[in-house]
Amino acid sequence: MKKTDRRLWLVWIALVVGGLLLLSACGGNADEYPQSALDPAGEYARKTDHLFKITLIIAAIVFVFVEGMIIVAVAKYRRRNNDERPKQTHGNTVLEIGWTMLPALVLAVLTVPTLSLVFELADVPDTSDRTVPIASLGAEEPLEVTIIGHQFWWEYQYPQLGIQTANELVIPEGETVVTNVTSVDVIHSFWVPRLAGKQDAVPGREVPLLIKADVTGEPTTYYGQCAEFCQLSHANMRAHVVAMPAADFDQWVQEQQQLAAAPTGGDAAAGRDLFFGTGTCSGCHVLWDDDHAPMDADGNPAVDPADRSMIRTMAGPNLTHLFSRDRFAGDIFELNSQNLHDWIRDAPAQKPGSIMPYFENLTDGDIDDIVAYLETLK
């Protein structure tokens, strides 16, 4: 074998091995890679994935063709000693038109499905053909959720239902959910890869994002992450979506619409006094109970949950049903008494950049009482 042919074979072997290694990184399933965009679990994620695959195939064909021609040209037609200067092609009208029109044709082929999907993802669907009734929504009323980015956690508001929660986005499975993504501080980006594409959360703007989870017949969790650097704890700004059957979702709505019950005595009652008193917790957190009822737009107590005014200026999440969730603090800590105690004692030490301060005025006993109260909020 000639030396030139040997080098060419080595180049091809290196390309094949490198390609196989890259493809191996794309394997796995939802259990191994819960945030993989290559394993869609919803209608809109699947459509985006389909467009991605079309683009990838076309790009791969172009890449292999161009790189193959370069390798052949370098290996076979490289300059050797005493070679004469080859004929130059600069100014060849036919060639220049050809290598201008061919890429334009490729882009045109990609433009059609891309624009079609862009308009489809911006079109709020008709819900009149809803197969499973959702008692908490009108027959032709899509569920709307406002997703609000904070440093460093996600807030979810259901204005039609009068629900305000954090970290855990609960939706009915098989149902298109119209979310409006925004932020109160810096630019974030909401991304649950298996359900939808990314959507930037920009202060002062609400940008729609359609989400729809496949029907599984049981509550299913999908994991997400802030995808825009937003300072110190960007990597600790996580999220998860729980898609439930319609009956389970309606039950969740009824539970979330209830006001918190005030404890009648013991450590929990002492903790409630601290929460709304010297502990100053209520200065940043919303907590709805009989003595602190949600208001409507006119400043009167809201009788109907749908009339509740959604507040966006609070620094911390709504804690009315804190222990109905599994995680807290931007979805990074398991919600239990010890983790909650450590968080209240010194949140910045647990999560860099957290605006929740170190409470010098609270003893460990005070914090235990507050935790005892928070544990009643289910």
Contact indicator for 64, 56 with CB cutoff of 8 Å: no
pLDDT 10s digits, 72-103: 888 887 777 777 777 777 777 888 888 889 88
Q: What is the pLDDT of residue 86?
A: 74
pLDDT 10s digits, 243-252: 999 999 999 9
Burial pattern 148-160, b for ≥16 Cβ within 10 A else e, equals: bbbbbbbbbbbeb
Q: What is the pLDDT of residue 279?
A: 83
Lowest mean pLDDT among 135-144, 159-168, 338-347: 135-144
Q: Residue 347: which of 187, 149, 166, 151 has the closest Cα?
A: 151
The predicted model scores a pTM of 0.84
The arrangement of strands across the sheet holding 199-201 comes to 168-172, 238-244, 220-226, 188-191, 199-201
Is residue 115 exposed (0-12), middle (13-18) or buried (19+ Cβ within 10 Å)? exposed
Q: Residue 234: which of 185, 291, 171 has the closest Cα?
A: 185
3-state secondary structure of 215: coil
Contact indicator for 179, 210 with CB cutoff of 8 Å: yes
Distances (CA, A) of 367 to 63, 84, 153, 354: 61, 86, 22, 18
Backbone angle region of 371, left / alpha / beta, with phi > 0 → left and psi within -120 to 50 → alpha:
alpha
Q: What is the pLDDT of residue 30?
A: 57
Q: What is the pLDDT of residue 138?
A: 64
Provide, rounded to the nearest whole percent, the portion of the chain with pLDDT above 90.
Answer: 57
* Confidence bin at 32 (pLDDT 50/70/90): low
Contact indicator for 190, 201 with CB cutoff of 8 Å: yes
What span, in angstroms and rounded, lies between the C-alpha atoms of 251 and 247?
A: 6
3-state secondary structure of 352: coil
Q: Which residues pair with 151 in a beta bridge?
A: none
* pLDDT above 60: residue 1: no
Q: Phi/psi of residue 229, each to 5°?
A: -55, 125
Q: What is the pLDDT of residue 181?
A: 96
Tokens of 76: 């076979």
3-state secondary structure of 57: helix
Between 231 and 12, residue with greater pLDDT: 231
Lowest mean pLDDT among 25-34, 76-85, 195-204: 25-34
pLDDT 10s digits, 274-320: 999 988 898 899 899 988 888 888 888 887 888 888 776 568 999 99
Q: What is the pLDDT of residue 28?
A: 58
* pLDDT above 60: residue 176: yes
* Mean pLDDT over the full length of the chain: 87
Q: What is the pLDDT of residue 319?
A: 94
Q: What is the pLDDT of residue 365?
A: 94
The arrangement of strands across the sheet holding 177-183 comes to 163-166, 153-158, 143-150, 177-183, 207-211
DSSP annotation of 295: B
* pLDDT above 60: residue 129: no
* pLDDT above 80: residue 134: no
3-state secondary structure of 308: coil
Find the mean pLDDT for residues 119-148: 73
Measured torsion, CA atoms of residues 149, 152, 153, 159, in degrees rounded to the nearest 10: -30
* pLDDT above 60: residue 239: yes
- The alpha carbon of 25 is separated from its chain's Cα centroid by a whole number of angstroms, namely 22
Q: What is the pLDDT of residue 206?
A: 92
Backbone angle region of 370, left / alpha / beta, with phi > 0 → left and psi within -120 to 50 → alpha:
alpha
What span, in angstroms and rounded, lies between the C-alpha atoms of 363 and 344?
A: 11
What span, in angstroms and rounded, lies between the C-alpha atoms of 135 and 129?
A: 15
Distances (CA, A) of 370 to 62, 92, 279: 62, 80, 9
* Confidence bin at 130 (pLDDT 50/70/90): low
* pLDDT above 60: residue 2: no
Contact indicator for 113, 227 with CB cutoff of 8 Å: no
* pLDDT above 70: residue 273: yes
Q: What is the pLDDT of residue 37?
A: 84
Q: Which residues pair with 240 in a beta bridge?
A: 168, 223
Lowest mean pLDDT among 4-13, 318-327, 355-364: 4-13
Contact indicator for 320, 287 with CB cutoff of 8 Å: yes
User: Which helix or strand (DSSP H or E) is residue 361 part of?
Assistant: none
Set out the domains of the chain in order of their start, with CATH numbers.
3-22+30-78+91-121 (1.10.287), 138-378 (2.60.40.420)
